[in-house]
Amino acid sequence: MRIELRPQRRDDAIEVIKVGSVLTVNGEVFDFSQMGEGDTLPNSAIHSEWFAGDVEKVDGELKIILLLPNPWNYSPEQAFPVPLENVPDGPVVFPAPLPEPSTEATAEDAE
């Protein structure tokens, strides 16, 4: 499976779990196992705000485009994400944001 990411500045989060051709996105299950070689499922047929394009099956691989919510402290990896290739089963790992400033550092800066 190949997952392309479309970054979008927003404060919510996405959690995706992959099992074969099934994705669970924030608790909602999307089963693409019935797709055959060369099939395209139009984005309009997928009733989820998280899908940002058609789902295709090319050369035996599902190609999916998902929105990637970027928090206020987004990292360069989130702003310009590379496609996730050969995504293994389990929780999908997305690029992480920059660390939030610690409250200790803020207190030291104030002195």
| List of E strands, 10-110 | 16-19, 22-25, 28-31, 40-41, 55-58, 61-70, 90-91
Which pLDDT score, from 0 to 100, does residue 85 have? 97
Which pLDDT score, from 0 to 100, does residue 98 have? 94
Mean pLDDT in order along the chain per 10 residues (111 residues):
97 97 98 97 96 97 97 96 97 94 58 51
Which pLDDT score, from 0 to 100, does residue 102 have? 76
- Give the separation between CA 57 and CA 87, rounded to whole angstroms: 15
Which pLDDT score, from 0 to 100, does residue 104 have? 60
pTM: 0.86
- Give the separation between CA 56 and CA 63, rounded to whole angstroms: 5
Which pLDDT score, from 0 to 100, does residue 103 have? 66
Which pLDDT score, from 0 to 100, does residue 15 have? 97
- Give the separation between CA 16 and CA 66, rounded to whole angstroms: 10
Which residues share a beta bridge with 29?
24
Per the structure block, which two tokens stand in for 36?
């055959």
